[in-house]
Structure 1
Amino acid sequence: MVPLSLLTEMRGAAMSLTAAASGLVVFLLSVSAVQGQDGWGVTYSSTEICAVNGSTVEISCSYTYPSTPDGRVNTFEKTCWFSQKKGGERVDPSTFSEYAGRVEDLCENNICTLRIRNLRKSDSAVYWLGIKTSQTAYSGFPGVTLSVTDLQVEGRRSGSSTRLQCLSSCHTSYIWFKNGQKVKEDTSPYAYFSYSPADSYSCALKGYEDFPSPSVYAPKLPSVSVSPSAEIEEGSSVTLTCSSDANPAANYTWYKKNEDSPKASGQIFNITDFRAEHSGSYSCGAQNKLGRSNSNLHLSVGTGSSTMTVNIIRTTLGVLLMLIPVFLLSLWTKKKKALRSTTEAHEPEEIELDSIPEYENDSHTAAQTEDTEEQEDLV
């Protein structure tokens, strides 16, 4: 234990260096007590922790301190966690901006836990607990070394099997997943599986099964597109594009049927000044270390006369489409006129009584008069 007189002297020197620092930080920077000496002590549940990027980790410990060092009453004031980055910077995670919203400091009954969520690789550091009492401050060195790692799977197809390796800076047990289902646990980072182009694989660290590596798998059936079209005018340019879902990313190679040498490599294959000899079947091969997959397409060149015929047909169809509405309108107009004429021809003629000549009425009356006179004569 550091003598109180020396402690007081060191405390004053440290406070003169940075008046803005809190008392506990100043003490921890200037005083370093030996763990477990004279009743002081911090016991960590683990001195080395390896965790996966994105996961949550808890650094736990218990602590003790003397109640009457040097015959003086020593009362507890507070605890605080500290971390030291690789560059040597010492920070308080509860106030440091890089940890904002991700840190919880839980202390009760001489047991403290530092919980860090959504871990980042930059969180890799040494963490320790500091204790401040009414008499002095104590640093719980050497602390806990936290390593945050990314997980990756590296694989290679070997004949009828697939050889995989889980890449991690941690040395622990590994969990293997096939098509999302747990299939194996081993302390070795290597695993072997029967080859199948439809299968995907991932690994996780034991205790962090919810944070597996990205899956690796052979290329899926490539998708091939051609621009401007599969029927190409002679002398024009054509672009072929190939893409496939694969992890690791696929490499692409173009072949033409009945030709041994590849025509091109890469996702895009350009053919300028397309000629008849370019016509034929083409194949796009997508390949990574886990397998290969192919897709085919056929290209053909059109002649000048056929192109002209197509253009004439297109023009004719366009004109017909414009004339059809005019023709239908004219036909409808004629039909309407004919219907009107037929209707007028069948309507009955109205005869006005006033138009009947008067003499017809007089003759009828005269005949009636003569008959009357003849009857009178007979009488």
Structure 2
Amino acid sequence: MKNVSVNLTCSSDANPAANYTWYKGNQKLLSEEPQFIFSSIQPSDSGQYYCTAQNELGRRISESVSINVNYAPKRPSVSVSPSAEIVEGSSVNLTCSSDANPAATFTWYKENQQLIQGPESIYHFPSISCEDRGNYQCKSENQFGWTNSTSLVLDVQYGPKLPSVSVSPSAEIVEGSSVNLTCSSDANPAANYTWYKENEDSPKASGQIFTITDIRAEHSGNYYCEAQNRRGRQNSSLHLTVVAGAWKSAATGTITAVLLVILLPAAFLWIRRKKKSVTQQSNGGERPDNRAQINMGPAATQRQPAEQEDDLNYSSICFLQNQGDALYSNIRPPQPRRQTEDQDNVDYTTVKTENASSAPGTRRQDDGEDVFALYSTVNK
């Protein structure tokens, strides 16, 4: 074993006593003593040794003895071939070298995970890929010990992989907002990025992130980014949809509300008038005389009390030729009574319109409408 003390002894029966000379192979050593001592034998001391014994009567040579110094593996070194740039798809060898006696076995590791173990000191990649890049290390081992090599960084160059594209914010894109388009691709060396819009020849931007501020409807469309390095290029696309801003929606809602405010009352009045017209036609039928019947009872000739006259409304009533038409009246607010000579000649009466098919004096209520009285000036 390495570093132990070893003694070689040469002896011969001679008279007079012999002188001794030591040899290693064909090399003469300096010692002329019967013992040749290795105080801390080294691997370099391994070899074939012999001695000679000589006096004036003659010379004899000993048989040789073999010294084999065993030792644990020395720290291994790792090398890569070819030593130039390693491109994806090429053939690559990793070699682990370690001095050991007896010969070492080798174990290969990648990122501290074991790959293979055996007597071969070479790890072979027939067609290296980007997944093979990383840190490699080997362990050299025999029955006397083991040791690990330093790490070797294996750099594999390759063109960009298919880029991934994304938009932020990922929710609905509203006019006037700011939007970031992001493109990323695995590549070695690192890729350069260029942004294009569909059907446009000139690029829109360069860099991994494309920012659109104050986005508008015309920004909608298909965008794609191209990732490129000296080993190749790839591109991916995305579709961008821009919706109207909230202020436009509010303006549309306001216009709609204004139109409803204008149109609904008019529509309601038209429907009400139409409904009254249909009701009068269904109740009136055909009459020989389109004039309304006026019931002039005794109460008609009675004067209204003076305290109630201010509450009356006065109107001029025209009976139309076609009963199916709506009944219109011009209503005037009550006017202060004037003292004229004709005032005593005016009678006030309650005027009722009755259905020809109804008995005189019958009150009518259609579709939930209350019976109402019309007050009129009757000229005698």
TM over 0.5: no
Which structure's CA Rg is the greater one?
2
| TM-score, normalised with respect to structure 2 | 0.34
Structure ranking higher on relative contact order (CA contacts 8 Å, 6+ apart): 1
Structure with greater proportional helix content? 1
